[in-house]
Amino acid sequence: MSGFNKDWLALREPVDMRARANSLVEQLSQHLDGIERPKILDIGCGTGSTWRSLAHRFPGHSEWQLLDYDPLLLAEAERRIGQHQDVSFRQFDLNEIDSLPLTEVSVVTASALFDLCSAEFCDHFAEILSASNTGLYAALNYDGVMEWSIAHPLDQQVAKDFNQHQHFDKGFGPALGPDATAHLKQAFERLGYSVSVATSPWVMGRDDGDLQAAFLEGLEQPLSEIGSLTDVQIRDWLGFRLEKIAEAGSSCVVGHSDMLALPRH
Ligand SMILES: C[S@@+](CC[C@H](N)C(=O)[O-])C[C@H]1O[C@@H](n2cnc3c(N)ncnc32)[C@H](O)[C@@H]1O
């Protein structure tokens, strides 16, 4: 339903885990330590990757609600996390943002979500969180960087086209894509929050070959929709890139960034 499938999310999870900026997780964990019974709302939870990455770093008595609009991903999250008295699941479409269940929520978490969202959505979302004095941890938003250790003459054009495609509507209006973190930072700073940002790049080598291949294959449609490269150029570039994955010393960096916005009081 959402266009994200559990196999893709499973492939990226270990690389996401090591990419997350540790400093922000520590800062958030300390913030939650000072709260009697922290309540965390994870939006766009997919199969529960944020919970698996963070729950063991947060105070043990934290309560989590995981929310996604895709029933298949939510069912997979429930299956993988299992029965846990402190974790609940809810099907919810973020386009209904005004009724987001924020009562007593200490912090909203989201991973790989806001680059899909529009500027208008993020501004409104920031106002809603500010009205209830709630923090936001927004991790793993794509930042526009795509680099390979072994160069190909079309790499820059591919990155430019993909970054343009990242602004296409992903269900929330024109998407922020690579501008998501900068936009969120400004929105929350305007509202008086204390905001920290850190990079969280995927650095993929031969051992991440399956994720590299899936990522590359996922570029074909966006590149062809932008249309500045011919189908033959796209196929040649993809063929070259897929072949290089297994080569010694070959690596690929896909840039992301994380943001933590906490109310000042
Ligand atoms: C890239 S996936 C990230 C999933 C998960 N946070 C992770 O890091 O593995 C984006 C998630 O946002 C969810 N999503 C997209 N649009 C949504 C909407 N309108 N309401 C609720 N969830 C949405 C998708 O179903 C998907 O689970």
CB of 171 sitting under 6 A from ligand 1: yes
Look at residue 248 and give its three-state secondary structure: coil
Atom of ligand 1 nearest to the CA of 1: 25
Other CB atoms closer than 10 Å to residue 5's CB: what's the count? 16
Q: What is the pLDDT of residues 155-183, one digit of tens each?
A: 999 999 999 999 999 999 999 999 999 99
260 Cβ partners below 8 Å, 6+ apart? 24, 27, 28, 135, 136, 137, 138, 195, 196
**Ligand 1 midpoint to CA 113 (Å):** 6
Nearest CA to ligand 1 atom 8: 111
Q: What is the pLDDT of residues 61-105, one digit of tens each?
A: 999 999 999 999 999 999 999 988 899 999 999 999 999 999 999
**Ligand 1 midpoint to CA 236 (Å):** 32
Residue 1 pLDDT greater than 80, yes or no = no
Strands 252-262 and 202-204: antiparallel
In the structure, how many helices (H) and strands (E) does the chain have?
A: 10, 8
In degrees, rounded to 5, the angle at the alpha carbon of residue 94 between the alpha carbons of residues 89 and 99 is 80
Q: What is the pLDDT of residues 103-158, one digit of tens each?
A: 999 999 999 999 999 999 999 999 999 999 999 999 999 999 999 999 999 999 99
**Ligand 1 midpoint to CA 217 (Å):** 20
Q: Where are the domains of the chain?
A: 6-262
| CATH superfamily, region 6-262 | Vaccinia Virus protein VP39 (3.40.50.150)
